[in-house]
Amino acid sequence: MTNRLYLRPTGFVDAPFGYDGKVARLAGGLAWFSAVEAIGDGREPELVPVEAVPDRLSAWGEVARLAWDNLTAARAPLTLGARTVRLDQPQVVGILNVTPDSFSDGGRNLEPSTAAEAGFAMASAGAAIVDVGGESTRPGAKPVWEQDEIGRVLPVVERLAGSGTAVSVDTRKSAVMEAALRAGAALVNDVSALTFDPLSAATVARLGCPVVLMHHQGAPETMQTAPRYDRPVLLEVYDWLEERIEVAVSAGIDRSSIIVDPGIGFGKTVQHNLQLLNGLAMLHGLGCPVMLGASRKRMIGALSAEAPADERLAGSVALALKGAEQGAQLLRVHDVPETVQAIRVWRGLRDAALAPSSAH
């Protein structure tokens, strides 16, 4: 147990007009909040208005001051090859599994040409990034030999990157990272947060690419057997990601190139996942962009009469919108056109709230 203080933005408003000093912009995005919940181990949570935060920071201490600065600082855009992905608004990342056994779409895209066409369709539908993976990390999945994984992802990455699509590689292995990055991928998405392969952090640092560090508990083979946390899951995930950020920076990875992901479904019960989603905005206190990958996850089935993975579209869109409302910059999804449409409607509502109105 620690005595540190955590700040969770809450009290969101549609627009900041007329609230000078009373609201703050979350991570330079399209969300404004009017209060923070100050929480910590062994203390009663306290709701503090934004206008009172400056006077409280000295008493709260340096850790809370840094978190506040991070919550209210803009995120730099991602440079992915020739593409620039702005992080002042939610962006959709399309999931392209080149695997026979992924939980939702395994086996659909084993042929490189078929997979590339699926990736092109995602980009055309509005995905800012296409995330290519050659190893399933679903609950119970077995590891894949790195050369087999390279053989799956490389031809797809080459086709997509060659056409100008921004590509990330979803892998835990340094050899796969290096092969994919040299083939044109521009971002590494590691569900192990660089813990699986002792060479991965050095590889990412040497090649100078952005990296996603995802929280997980246990290996895919066993992570959903009996997940448990000794403290509130939101605080444990926050601390774990903070530690992984520092390890990555120590390995030579630029802090501005690090993205964090709470790891929905990776060593969590349904209640753990719901608590993380409700508290997602707190993760902006880490100072990194936030990726949310909740698409078609088991929790949606658990909340909707055990709907199978291919019948979880509505729940997936609902969770993507929940992420957008809390400032998540990257939404990793299977259903790109539907999610892009939902985000465009959400963005239209935001734009209307932010536009000066002449109506009376």
Helix axes of 200-207 and 233-250: crossing angle, nearest 10 degrees: 60
Strand 187-190 vs strand 211-214: parallel, antiparallel, or unpaired?
parallel
Q: Say yes or no: 39 and 136 in one domain.
A: no
The answer to whether residue 358 sits within a structural domain is no
Residue 60 within any structural domain of the chain: yes
Question: Token pair of 359, please?
Answer: 């109506």
List the one residue out of 325, 216, 224 whose CA is nearest residue 280.
Answer: 325
Residue 102: its pLDDT value, please?
56
297 is annotated as an active-site residue:
yes
pTM of the full predicted structure? 0.94
**Is 239 found in the same domain as 291?**
yes
Q: Tell me the torsion sign for CA atoms 320, 245, 240, 99.
A: positive
The span from the CA of 120 to the CA of 157, in Å, is 11
Amino acid at position 312, single letter: R
Q: Does residue 359 belong to any structural domain of this protein?
A: no
Would you say residue 263 lies in a domain? yes
Out of 75, 297, 312, 350, which one is annotated catalytic?
297
Phi, psi of 155, deg, nearest 5: -65, -30
CATH number at residue 342: 3.20.20.20
Domain final residue, candidates 71, 93, 116: 71
pLDDT at 138: 72
Per-residue b or e along 210-238, where b marks 16 or more CB atoms closer than 10 Å to that residue's CB: bbbbbbbbeebeebbeebebeebbbbebb
- Into how many domains does the chain fold? 2
pLDDT for res 176:
98
- Note whether residue 252 is domain-resident: yes
Residue in 124, 128, 17, 91 with CA at minimum distance from that of residue 346:
91
**Are residues 104 and 10 part of one domain?**
no
In a shared domain, residues 220 and 95: yes
Same domain? 109 vs 63: no
DSSP state of 189: E
Q: Which residue range is the domain that position 13 belongs to?
A: 6-71
The residue from 71, 88, 107 where one domain ends is 71
- Of the residues 138, 172, 298, 332, only one is catalytic, namely 332
Domain boundary pick from 22, 54, 71: 71
Contacts of 325 (CB under 8 A, 6+ apart): 12, 31, 346
Whether residue 166 sits in one domain with residue 29 = no
Is position 75 annotated as part of the catalytic site?
A: no
Helix 336-354 to helix 313-325 angle (10° resolution) is 30
Which 8-state DSSP code applies to residue 62? Answer: H
Do residue 56 and residue 89 come from a single domain? Answer: no
Digitized pLDDT (tens) for each residue of the chain, 360 residues in all: 457 999 999 999 999 999 999 999 999 999 999 999 999 878 899 999 999 999 999 999 999 999 999 999 999 999 999 999 999 999 999 999 998 755 565 567 678 899 999 999 999 999 999 999 999 887 777 788 999 999 999 999 999 999 999 999 999 999 999 999 999 999 999 999 999 999 999 999 999 999 999 999 977 766 677 788 999 999 999 999 999 999 999 999 999 999 999 999 999 999 999 999 999 999 999 999 999 999 999 999 999 999 999 999 999 999 999 999 999 999 999 999 999 999 999 999 999 999 976 444
Same domain, 58 and 117: no
Q: Nearest 5°: phi and psi at 280?
A: -55, -35
Report if residue 354 sits inside a domain.
no
The 3-class SS string of 136-164 reads CCCCCCCCCCHHHHHHHHHHHHHHHHHCC
Beta bridge partners of 36: 9, 48
> Do residue 14 and residue 145 come from a single domain?
no
Report if residue 192 sits inside a domain.
Answer: yes
Q: How many CB atoms lie within 10 A of CB 80?
A: 20
- How many Å apart are CA 349 and CA 57, to the nearest integer? 33
In a domain, 1, yes or no: no
Residues in the chain, overall count: 360
Q: Is residue 127 located within the same domain as residue 41?
A: no
162-166: long-range contacts (C-beta < 8 A, 24 or more apart)?
163/120, 164/82, 164/83, 165/83, 165/119, 165/120, 165/123, 165/130, 166/80, 166/81, 166/83, 166/85, 166/123, 166/128, 166/129, 166/130
306 Rama sector, left if φ>0, alpha if ψ -120 to 50, beta otherwise: left
Q: Looking at the structure, do residues 326 and 184 belong to the same domain, yes or no?
A: yes
Shared-domain flag, residues 13 and 149:
no
